[in-house]
């Protein structure tokens, strides 16, 4: 396996949603399945890498001698795990659908229903990808974007703001793409404004396309 292109390289990947607790039984979450992130991890392993996968709640399974799977629940836990592993990693890929906000207070007791309306105050979560982009030294940092309008323009802004090497733009325009699907339709945009357009394909194949770009950027 020493002949594999990513042998000796460590790759950090985030996957899945985050759950932000409201009380002991309720949370704010989203429909991310984690599929894309797990496929990326699987592909990296096949290419010989050592992988740290930081995953929010997901039904996906992956097991490998060279995989460290860290299961987390909230964005803050996900950030903590990434902070520990980012320093000695060559590549960071953020495919998690991190909740942008979390409840300001977590009730220790189950919130009782009454006839009154209630409000939940939300505070901003850390942007994990932005933080890693700031800490970036000789590393490659890759993000995802899901846009509904001005897709390329918005994705390019995100690439710059978060100091990414490239960004994978998910198109919502297509039936087969996105959350909980096994297929995805993407474009990859890099810092030099090169745009690669791919056809609708299984997420396992999308993962291979992403690593093809990564290997080129790593000059492998």
* Binding site feature residues for CTP: 100, 110, 126-129, 144, 158, 162
Please report how close the Cβ of residue 70 comes to ligand C5P at its closest, in angstroms: 15
30 is catalytic: yes
Residue nearer to ligand C5P on the CB measure, 48 or 100: 100
Picking from 15, 42, 41, 19, the residue whose alpha carbon sits closest to that of residue 30 is 19
CA dist list (Å): 76 to 1, 92, 204: 36, 17, 28
Say how far apart CA 155 and CA 153 lie, in whole Å.
Answer: 6
Quote the tokens at residue 215. Answer: 């290997």
Residue 170, Cβ density class (10 Å: 0-12 exposed, 13-18 middle, ≥19 buried): buried
Please report how close the Cβ of residue 162 comes to ligand C5P at its closest, in angstroms: 7
Please report how close the Cβ of residue 53 comes to ligand C5P at its closest, in angstroms: 13
Give the chain's end-to-end CA distance (angstroms, integer).
Answer: 15
Residue 29 has φ and ψ, to the nearest 5°, of: -145, -165
What is the contact surface with ligand C5P in residues (CB under 6 A)? 14, 75, 94-96, 98, 100, 125, 127-129, 143-145, 158
Annotated active-site residue in 30, 154, 163, 196: 30
β-bridge mates for residue 184, sequence order: 201
Please report how close the Cβ of residue 145 comes to ligand C5P at its closest, in angstroms: 5
Residue nearer to ligand C5P on the CB measure, 36 or 47: 36
36: left (phi over 0), alpha (psi -120 to 50) or beta: alpha
* Positions marked catalytic: 30
């Amino acid at each position: 396996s020493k002949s594999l292109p990513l042998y000796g390289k460590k790759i950090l990947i985030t996957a899945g949603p985050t759950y932000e607790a409201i009380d002991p039984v309720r949370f704010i979450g989203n429909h991310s399945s984690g599929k894309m992130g797990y496929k990326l991890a699987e592909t990296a392993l096949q290419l010989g890498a050592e992988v740290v996968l930081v995953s929010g709640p997901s039904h996906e399974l992956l097991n490998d001698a060279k995989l460290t799977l860290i299961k987390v629940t909230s964005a803050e836990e996900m950030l903590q795990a990434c902070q520990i592993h980012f320093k000695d990693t060559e590549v960071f890929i953020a495919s998690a659908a991190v909740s942008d906000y979390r409840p300001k207070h977590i009730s220790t007791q189950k919130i009782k229903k009454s006839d009154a309306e209630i409000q939940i105050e939300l505070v901003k979560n850390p942007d994990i990808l932005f933080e890693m982009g700031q800490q970036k030294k000789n590393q490659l940092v890759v993000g995802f974007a899901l846009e509904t309008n001005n897709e390329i323009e918005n994705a390019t802004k995100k690439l710059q703001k978060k100091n990414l090497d490239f960004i994978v733009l998910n198109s919502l325009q297509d039936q087969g793409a996105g959350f909980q699907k096994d297929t995805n339709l993407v474009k990859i945009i890099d810092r030099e404004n090169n745009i690669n357009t791919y056809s609708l394909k299984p997420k396992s194949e999308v993962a291979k396309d992403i690593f093809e770009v990564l290997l080129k950027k790593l000059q492998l």
